[in-house]
Amino acid sequence: MTALTSTAERAALEQPVAPRPVPAVRNGHRRRELFTGMGALQIAALLFMVVAFLLPIAVIAFRALSDPNNFALAFESGIFRRSIWTTVRMSVLVTIVCVVISYPFAYVLARGGKVLVAVLGTFLLVSFWTSTLVRTYSWQLLLNNTGILNDTLIALGVIAEPLAIIRTDLAVFIGMAHVLAPYTILTIFAQIRAIPSELEEAAQVMGARPITVFWRVVLPLTRAGAVAGGVLVFVMALGFYITPQILGNQQDVYIGTAIVQQVQVFLRTDVGAAQSLVLLAIVLLVLGVAARFLGLSRVLGLDKASR
């Protein structure tokens, strides 16, 4: 009896089990899934982009294109024409200096000891957390004729009269570089952290000096981060208004100041909108050139081959 029972159980176990039917997913359920989870977040992000970015640009474009003479009036102003050259020149200088000074800071931040990294990281974060207006006014207190810098140099006997730094291009340059340098530091820092330290150690074992290791190993592998940070800083520098207004002089007008004058002083909002589109066109041109010759993924620091 026991043998028959075990044989029956074995036969029952060996019988194939029919798979359970999978319920068909209706189109209505699929549509509802688009509005749940990640689909809802993507729609919310898209709506935010439209309301916060595309809609204001559309309004400005409508005001500027409402009258074809707006662009002619915009370029009739000699102040605006000079402001384009002044802004582009300062943006190029600030970008170059930010990339250069960011390399040693980012390298130490990526390869330094714990204490040094903590101190430098704190300085970098505090710089990000501090308002641009506050940092600009701080430089005004430092560089003023009766500021901390001139008072200290006079007290030490280095100079007899205050240095004329405030209200000059040098003051604007210092202020803009201080505000924008953290962006290049972070982009270059991310690239250096992605480099295995064994590559540098191997180069040193082969007899390469530290400067050679930097030029032949670190610099080529971090070029994408430097380009991405440089493009970001240049684009941001084109639209600076607060720093040139506080630290600069009235003779050297920047694009942001020229647009504000059209809107608030001359009350020609349409002309100001046209000048804003010119600034936007310059930004898009810079991004297009960078994407054309360097690749958009390299500009954004997304090229895996460059890491």
pTM across the whole model: 0.80
Q: What is the mean pLDDT of residues 258-286?
A: 92
Count of C-beta atoms within a 10 Å radius of residue 122: 10
Q: What is the mean pLDDT of residues 85-105?
A: 95
| pLDDT of the residue at 2 | 47
**What kind and span of H or E run contains 73?**
helix 69-76
| More confident position, 86 or 2 | 86
Q: What is the mean pLDDT of residues 132-143?
A: 93
- Is residue 202's pLDDT more than 70? yes
Q: What is the mean pLDDT of residues 210-238?
A: 90
Residue spans of beta strands (DSSP E) within 102-141: none
| pLDDT of the residue at 144 | 92
In sequence order, what are the residues at sequence separation of 6 or more whose Cβ sits closer than 8 angstroms to the Cβ of residue 22? none
- Angstrom distance (rounded) from CA 124 to CA 178: 11
Q: Does the 77-306 domain belong in CATH 1.10.3720.10?
A: yes
37: left (phi over 0), alpha (psi -120 to 50) or beta: left
CA 16 to chain CA centroid, nearest Å = 62
| pLDDT of the residue at 228 | 87
| pLDDT of the residue at 305 | 44
In the 8-state DSSP scheme, what is residue 162? -
| pLDDT of the residue at 307 | 45
In sequence order, what are the residues at sequence separation of 6 or more whose Cβ sits closer than 8 angstroms to the Cβ of residue 201? none
- Angstrom distance (rounded) from CA 94 to CA 257: 18
Backbone angles phi, psi at 267, to 5 degrees: 55, 35
Mean pLDDT across the chain, nearest whole number?
Answer: 84
What are 185's two structure tokens? 């530091």
Q: What is the mean pLDDT of residues 41-59?
A: 87
- Angstrom distance (rounded) from CA 103 to CA 306: 17
Domain segments of the chain as ranges: 34-65, 77-306
| pLDDT of the residue at 233 | 95
User: Quick check: 187 and 233 in contact, CB under 8 A?
Assistant: no
Q: What is the mean pLDDT of residues 21-36?
A: 53
When pLDDT is cut at 50, 70 and 90, the band that residue 21 belongs to is low
CA 21 to chain CA centroid, nearest Å = 53
In angstroms, the Cα distances linking 65 to 56, 59, 84, 149 are: 14, 10, 21, 49
- Is residue 300's pLDDT more than 80? no
Q: What is the mean pLDDT of residues 165-193?
A: 93
User: Quick check: 202 and 217 in contact, CB under 8 A?
Assistant: no
Tell how many helices (H) and how many strands (E) occur in the chain: 18, 0
When pLDDT is cut at 50, 70 and 90, the band that residue 298 belongs to is low
| More confident position, 77 or 93 | 93
When pLDDT is cut at 50, 70 and 90, the band that residue 128 belongs to is confident
| pLDDT of the residue at 27 | 53
- Is residue 274's pLDDT more than 70? yes
- What is the SS3 assignment for 120? helix
Q: What percent of the chain has pLDDT over 70?
A: 83
| pLDDT of the residue at 86 | 95
- Is residue 56's pLDDT more than 70? yes
User: Quick check: 244 and 258 in contact, CB under 8 A?
Assistant: no
- Angstrom distance (rounded) from CA 113 to CA 103: 17
| pLDDT of the residue at 49 | 86
Q: What is the mean pLDDT of residues 47-73?
A: 89
| pLDDT of the residue at 98 | 96
What are 149's two structure tokens? 């810098």
| pLDDT of the residue at 197 | 86
Count of C-beta atoms within a 10 Å radius of residue 181: 22
Residues 269-282 as b/e (b if ≥16 CB within 10 A, e otherwise) read ebbbbbbbbbbbeb
| pLDDT of the residue at 26 | 53
What are 280's two structure tokens? 């936007």
| pLDDT of the residue at 166 | 92
- Is residue 240's pLDDT more than 70? yes
